Chain A
Amino acid sequence: MPSFQLLDQSLVTGLLTGGLYGLLALGLSLSWGLLRLVNIGHFAIALLGAYLTWWMGTALGIAPWWAGIVIVAAFFLYGVGLHWVFMRFAVTEMASMLITFALAVIIESILQFIWTADFRRYETAWGSQSWIVGSLYVPKLSLIAFLVAAALATGTWAWLRYTYVGRALRACAEDAPIAAAFGINHRGLSFLLSGLCAAYAGVAGVFIALIATLAPSQIWTWVGVVFAVVIIGRLGNPLGALMGGILIGVCEAVTMAVVDPSWAPLVSFSVLIALLLFKPRWI
C-alpha cells in the first residue's frame, strides 16, 4: 500500500498533467464540436511544435517564449490552410478523420527522418525547479502550463459565450444554413476557429517540449487519452475539456502510484468505456 504522501504527490502530479491534457483537448474539442471536423493530426502538430521549440532552443539558442510566438503564429496559418482544404473538397466528418490520421503519420515520419526515433530532452535551467509546499513538490513549469491551460480554457469559454463572434460560431455549429441566413459569415469564422485550434496545439507543444521527453511515436500515446478527455468534457466545451483533462490526469497518476506506470494507457480507455456504457445525455 503506497503511503498517503505518495498518493498526495500523485494527485498534484495528476492535476498538473491533466492541465496539459486539457490544453491538448481544447483545440480538438473546439474543432470537433464547432466545425464538425475530427482532427487526429492535432497531436502530431503539438508534437511538431514541441520538436521545433526544442530545436530552436538547442540548435539556434532561441528562448522558448520567442520560439512559442513564432510557432503559434505559424500554426495559426497552418490551421487556416488545413481548413481551406477541407472546405475546398467538402470533406465530411469521417473523411476528416482519415485525412488528419494520414497527416499525423506524415508528421511522425518527418520527425523521425530528421531527428530519428531517439528520445530528446530539452534541458533548461528552470526545467527541474519546484516549489515545495508542505511535503509536496510542485514543478514550476507544470504549474505554469496548468495555469496557461486554465486561462485559455476560461478565456475561450467566455469568448464563445459572451461575444458576438463566439455566439455566431455556436449558431453555425447548430445549423449552418440558418446561421448564414441571419448574415453570419460562416466561412470566415470557421477559418478563424481552425487557425485558433492549431495555435492552441502550438502552445501545448511549447510546454510539452519543456516538460516531457520527446519521441516521434508519442503522437499515438496521446490519441486515446485526449479523445477520452474530449468526450468526457463534451464536444465544443472548453471548460469541459479542462475538467476532463484533470479527471483523466488524476486517475492516471493514481493508477501509476498504486498499480504500475505501464498500466496508465488503460486508464483513459476504461473511463471512456465506462462512460459509453453509461450513455450520458450529451453523447
Chain B
Amino acid sequence: MDLSRHRAALVAALAAAAILIVLPATSIPPYYIAFLYLIFFWIAMATSWTILSGFAGYWSFGHAAFFGTGVYTSATLATKFGWPFLATLPAAAALAATLGTGIGWIVFRLQRLRGELFALMTISVTFVVAAIISNTPIDGGSGVYLISVAMPEFFGSQDGTIYTLGLAFAAFSLGVAWWVYRSRMGLGLFAIHDDEDVAEVKGVPTFRYKLGAIALSSGIAGAVGGVYSIYVSYVTVGETFEITVIMYPVVMSIFGGSRHWLGPALGATIVTIALYGFPSGPEAALARGGIALGLILVVLLLPEGVMPSLMRWWRALAPRRLVPMPVLPQPLVPEPRKAETGAALAGQSVPVLECREVWKTFGGVQALKGVSLDVRQGEILGLVGPNGSGKSTLINVITGHFKLDRGSIVFDGAPIGDLPAHRVARLGIARSYQIPRPFNRLTVLDNVALAASFGDGRTEGEARRMAAHWLGYTGLARKAFEYPPKLNLHERKFLELARGLAARPRVLMLDEVLSGLNNTEIDEALTLIRDIRTRGTTIIFVEHLMRAVVALSDRVAVLNGGALIALGTPAETMRDSEVISVYLGKAHAS
C-alpha cells in the first residue's frame, strides 16, 4: 500500500526527469530552454538556502556573497588562468563553501545572539566581498567578459550545456536537501531550530551540524554561481551582488515552505514564473519593492509556507488507502544493562560521577563555590537546597552546558569537565528540565527518537522503535503523533522523562519533575522513578518536595549559597543543624 504510492511517485519523478534531460535534444525553441534554466537556477539557490536557514533557523542574508564568490571564481579561472570551464565549478563550490564555513566558524561558537549575528555578518560579508572584488584586479570595476571561454557542447549547443548543468545542480541540491531532511542530521537541524541548547544537551553535535549545513548551502550556491557566469557571459559586481539575489531565495523558500525539502523548489518555480513578465526600467525598482512586500506578507501570514497546506490538501483529497495514517513503530525493548542491577549495587558505593572542587561564577555572582560530591553507582541521590543555592547550575555544569571555572568532573574514571555538552550526553549523562523544553515543532515521537538517536547512538529506525517503547513506558503512546504544545503539563513532564530515558543514560538528572503535579500524579511518578533505578540507572533527583526526597533518596546532598553543607542518609541530613537553619531559620536550629 505504502510501497505502491511511493512507486507511483518515483515513476512519475523519473519520467519527468527523463523528459527534462532530453528536452534540449528536441526542437524546442531556445527561449524555453533559457527560461527553464532560470527556474533550475532559482530552485538550486532557494533549496541550498533552505538547507541551513530553513532547517536550522539560521537566516542567511549572504547567499549573494556565496553565489558571487562562485561567479567570480569561475570567471577568473576561465578567463585569466585558462582553466577548462567545467573544472572551474568545483573550485567555485569549494571557495564559496570555505567562505561560508569561515563565517559559520566565527559566529556559531557564540552562546548568545548567534542567530542575529549570523544574519548580520552575512549581510556585511556580501558588501565586503563585493568591495574586495571591485577593488582588486579580479574585476577592477569594469566587469569580466566570458564570451571567449570555450565550452563543451551538450546537445549540440552551449545553451544545451548550460541547461544541463542547471538541471544537474537543481537535482543535486534537491537530492542533498532530501538526504539531509531524512537523515539524523536533518532531525538534529530541526531540533537546533526549536531549541539549540536543549539539542546540544540531548547529544546533537550542534556546532558540527551547523558548519556542515552552511558548507553544503554555500558550496551549492557557489557552483550555481559558476554556471551563471557563463550564462550571462559578462559579469559585473553590481549585478552579481544585487539585493534581489539575497532576497529571492529567502522569499521563494519561505513562500514554498522552508521546513520541507521540496518547499523551496515549489516556491522557486511559482515565483520565477510569476516574475516572468518582470518589467525593466524605472518600474523594475517598484517591482522589487513589490517582491519585498510579498516577503513581508508571507512572513506574517503564511510563516509555514504553502507546502504544509498543500500536503494537508493532498491528504484530504487522496483516497484513504493512498495516505495511511502514521502507525506507531513496533516498540523495541532495550536490552538490560549487565551487572548494574541498581539497588543491589547501591550498598557498595562505587562512585560513577565525581565532582571535585567545582567552581562557577556568573559576572560577580559565585554560583558554585568548590562543590565536591560523589554520586554512587545505582543510587538515588536527592539534591536539595533553597532557590539560588546552585542546584540547577550544578546540573548545567555536569551536562557541559556551562563550562566550569575551576575543579574537575570525573565520569566513570574519565574527566568530562571540558567536553562539549553533546559528548557528555553521548557518554551517558541525561537530564530533564524543570520547565519542560520539548522541541515544539517535532512530534512527541520524534522528540523521544531524537534523544534515542543522539544520546544512545541508535540508527534512525531503531531510535523510533525505541522511542515507541519509552512512550509506552511513560504512558504517552496515544500522543505519539501530537506536537508538544498540545500536551498538558503532566504529559510534558513525562515527555521530559521519556526523552531522558530514551538516551539510556548511566546517570539521569531529574530537575524538579514533581513540581506542579497533583498527589496522584506524584505517586505515579515516584513509582516510575524507583522502577528506573531498578533497571540500572543512577538518579540525581533535584526536588523541593521533602516528602518525595525522603521517601525516594538513598542519600541527600544539601546545597546552600553554592556550597555543599550536608551529605548523608535522609534521616541524618534532616537532623543536621545547619540544614535546619537554612530551611527553617536560625531560631529552630539550636
Contacts and interface: CB of A to CB of B under 8 A. Distances in A.
B296 A224 contact: no
A123 interface: no
A99 B135 contact: no
B172 interface: no
Given A101-B247, A113-B286, A224-B127, 10 more contacts: A40-B123, A95-B303, A97-B119, A99-B295, A99-B299, A102-B247, A109-B287, A227-B120, A262-B131, A263-B131
Nearest to A105: B292
Contact of A109 (B110, B113, B124, B292): B292
Given A106-B292, A221-B127, A276-B106, A95 B299 contact: yes
A112 B291 CA distance: 15
Interface stretch (A8-16, A130-138, A176-184, A266-274): A266-274
A263 B286 contact: no
Interface residues of B, number: 44
Contacts of A101: 61, 247, 295
13 contacts: A91-B300, A98-B295, A99-B300, A102-B299, A103-B296, A105-B292, A109-B286, A112-B285, A221-B127, A266-B132, A269-B124, A283-B110, A283-B117
Contacts, number: 124
A225 to B, nearest CB: 8
A174 interface: no
A105 B115 CA distance: 21
Interface string B280-301: 0011011111011101100110
B285 to A, nearest CB: 4
Interface of A: 32, 38, 40, 85, 89, 91, 93-95, 97-99, 101-103, 105-106, 108-110, 112-113, 116, 220-221, 223-224, 227-228, 231, 235, 260, 262-263, 265-266, 268-269, 272-273, 276-277, 279, 281, 283
A89 B299 CA distance: 10
Given A94-B59, A262-B131, A262-B135, A105 B117 contact: no
Nearest to B283: A113
Contact of A105 (B59, B112, B132, B243): B243
Closest 5 pairs between A and B when the two form their complex, measured CB to CB: A224-B124, A109-B289, A105-B292, A102-B292, A112-B285
Contacts of A38: 116, 119-120
Given A93-B116, A224-B127, A103 B292 contact: yes
B536 interface: no
B259 to A, nearest CB: 14
A95 B135 CA distance: 34
Interface in B121-137: 121, 123-125, 127-128, 131-132, 134-135
Nearest to B243: A105
Nearest to A260: B135
A97 B303 CA distance: 14
Contacts of A220: 123, 127, 243
A277 B105 CA distance: 10
B88 to A, nearest CB: 26
Contacts of A99: 295-296, 299-300
B127 A93 contact: no
B5 to A, nearest CB: 35
Contacts of B127: 220-221, 223-224, 265
A98 B132 CA distance: 26
Contacts of A223: 120, 123-124, 127
B290 to A, nearest CB: 8
A40 B119 CA distance: 11
A94 B132 contact: no
B250 A98 contact: yes
Given A94-B116, A108-B243, A276-B107, A89 B300 contact: yes
Nearest to B289: A109
A86 to B, nearest CB: 10
B117 A276 contact: yes
A94 B124 contact: no
A263 B131 CA distance: 7
Nearest to B116: A38
A106 B299 contact: no
A113 B285 contact: yes
A94 B243 contact: no
Interface string B292-333: 110110011001000000000000000000000000000000
Given A221-B127, A228-B124, A102 B116 contact: no
B353 to A, nearest CB: 29
A266 B292 contact: no
A113 to B, nearest CB: 5
A109 B116 contact: no
B110 A279 contact: yes
B250 to A, nearest CB: 7
B588 interface: no
Nearest to A32: B116
Contacts of A221: 127
A106 B113 contact: no
A85 B243 CA distance: 24
Given A227-B124, A272-B121, A266 B299 contact: no
B65 to A, nearest CB: 12
B289 A110 contact: yes
A249 to B, nearest CB: 17
Interface string B244-271: 0001001000100000000000000000
B109 interface: yes
